[in-house]
Amino acid sequence: MNVIHLSAECYPVAKVGGLGDVVGALPKYQQAAGVSAIVVLPYYDRKFVKENDFEVIFESNIVMGPFIGPFQVLRETTNKLGFPLHLIKIPGLLDRPEIYCYPDESEQFLAYQIAFLEWLKNFEVLPDVIHSHDHHAGLIPFLIYHSSRYKSLSQIATVLTIHNGQYQGWIGWEKLNLLPDIDVWEGKLLEWGDCINPLASAVKCCWKYTTVSPSYLEELSTNSNGLEKLFIAEAAKGVGIINGIDTDIWNPETDPMISANYTIETATEGKAANKKLICQEFFLEDDKPLVAFIGRLVGEKGADLLPEAITKLLLKYKNKVNILILGSGEKEIEEGLANLTSTFKENYNVFIGYHEALSHRIYAGADFLIMPSRVEPCGLNQLYSLRYGTVPIVRSTGGLKDTVVDITEENGYGIRFEEADVDSIVAAVSRAVEIYKNTTQMQLLRSRMMSLNYSWHQSAAQYINLYNNLKSL
């Protein structure tokens, strides 16, 4: 079985969120299970790319409407990631430092997909499956089944994984001429809501689509930023597979990014040592429960609720709880969170920005991790926090619902709440403050959480099973 993963992100080459984590790990676990899985990524002018060795294995040109230009395919030569990594480089479009937010993002990801197909046409042996992740690779199924230029590829099975249905990659119809030699009468397969919608097109044209948790699969038919009817119509093609975590990287016993390594047996002392250091770093006292938030500061994550919720909590529990935030995103939320430091400097701090190593130190040192997400297709933070013995406090939605069992239930280990609003956050953290007082219960929860197995092995096997079943479609 040969599979090619296409994605905008892949840790440690380029990561903004969980998409990077998944594409950096799933192929490695698939390789270990005997599947030949490779990753093809846009080229970024970033640290990993600068510091590692690549060879050019293919060169040609792409034609994208009026844009005609050369591209190269580079392969990483040392197999550092546990799977072959390939980068597509196009001067001016795919050679820049950032992953997202360029004004020509449509052209950027379209050029990536066209260059990939131009390269693929030259393969001696075609892959069995092309696995697209999110909308950035969403036009691949349409192009290989409905462009005369890629007819030779039309037998390849396509799978789409939806990590986040909120973002769909909308492109105006005036850019239709950028798509090479397409069957224009099939244009409806590109469309949703009066524009070219790469995510919707992928759902329509792929053989199977997956979502990163079973609950999110259900939610898409009632809440998917306009695609609800599409998901109802295509439901027979949908499968929910929960994400795993890369336990080589996320392992408190060996993690080089944390100061004190620990196991399930030494978690109490280990976490206390990490807590002491992170509290020192952020000028907090370590004798109070430490509640952390890590993530993108956007409405989807419920981050806009945090400034008011933190204010209420720190007024309610004067000097009895500490809160630490790591994140970046919408300016207004960043400012709202930064402004609180002067009012609550003894019990609150924030790091605005993206900091991978700091996130590890916080997972290791915090007692609780809060995720008040409005939408959470899977969520990896709660899985990392479980692995590091940090009690997750989550809103019951998507993957959070599928992975966190409330402590009031049998063998429960987390705190769940129903509504994404300020009062529910305050109530949930209040439960955490009470639980923290019971040292024995905290120890029991830690060992329960750390015994859970969310490694990729199981989920990678489910994807392989899905690929194998494609043959019979």
DSSP, collapsed to helix, strand or coil, labels residue 405 as coil
In the region spanning residues 236 to 275, those forming contacts with ligand GLC, defined by CB under 6 A, are 243
Among 30, 108, 147, 359, binds ligand ADP (CB under 6 A): 359
Residue 370 CA to residue 368 CA, distance in Å, equals 7
Q: Which is nearer to ligand GLC, 164 or 197 (CB)?
A: 164
What is the Cα Rg of the chain in Å? 23
SS3 of the chain: helix, strand, coil, percent, to 5: 40, 20, 35
Q: How far is CA 152 from CA 178, 181, 473, in A?
A: 20, 14, 19
326 binds ligand ADP, rule: CB under 6 A: yes
- Could you say whether residue 379 binds ligand ADP (CB under 6 A)? yes
Nearest distance in Å: CB 464, ligand ADP: 22
Helix (H) or strand (E) holding 21: helix 18-32
Task: Provide the token pair at 295.
Answer: 């993530």
**Can you tell me the distance from the alpha carbon of 193 to that of 205, in angstroms, rounded to the nearest whole number?**
17
Contact between 67 and ligand ADP by CB under 6 A: the answer reads no
Judge contact between 14 and 46, C-beta under 8 A.
yes
313 by DSSP, 3-state: which? helix
Which listed range, 125-133, 293-301, 405-413, 423-431, lies at the site for ligand ADP (CB under 6 A)? 293-301
Shortest separation between residue 245's beta carbon and ligand GLC, angstroms: 10
CB-based contact 132:138 (threshold 8 Å): yes
Residue from 304, 367, 376, 402 in contact with ligand GLC (CB under 6 A):
376
Only one of the segments 111-119, 126-134, 311-319, 321-329 lies at the binding site for ligand ADP (rule: CB under 6 A); that segment is 321-329
* Residue from 295, 377, 392, 414 in contact with ligand GLC (CB under 6 A): 377
* Beta carbons within 8 Å of 342's beta carbon, 6+ residues apart: none
131 contacts which partner out of ligand ADP, ligand GLC, none, CB within 5 to 8 A by kind?
Answer: none
Those residues with Cβ within 8 angstroms of residue 174's Cβ, 6 or more apart along the chain or in another chain: none
Given the rule CB under 6 A, which of 18-26, 55-63, 226-234, 309-317 is the region that contacts ligand GLC? Answer: 18-26
- Is 25 or 205 the residue whose CB approaches ligand ADP more closely? 25
* Residue choice 36, 354, 396, 412 for contact with ligand ADP (CB under 6 A): 354
Nearer to ligand GLC, 128 or 402 (CB): 402
Report H helices in 282-380: 306-316, 331-343, 356-365
Binding to ligand ADP in span 179-208, by CB under 6 A: none
Residue 147 or 164: the one with the smaller Cβ distance to ligand GLC is 164
Kindly list the residues in this chain that would bind ligand ADP in the complex (CB under 6 A): 17-19, 21, 294-296, 326-328, 354-356, 359, 378-381
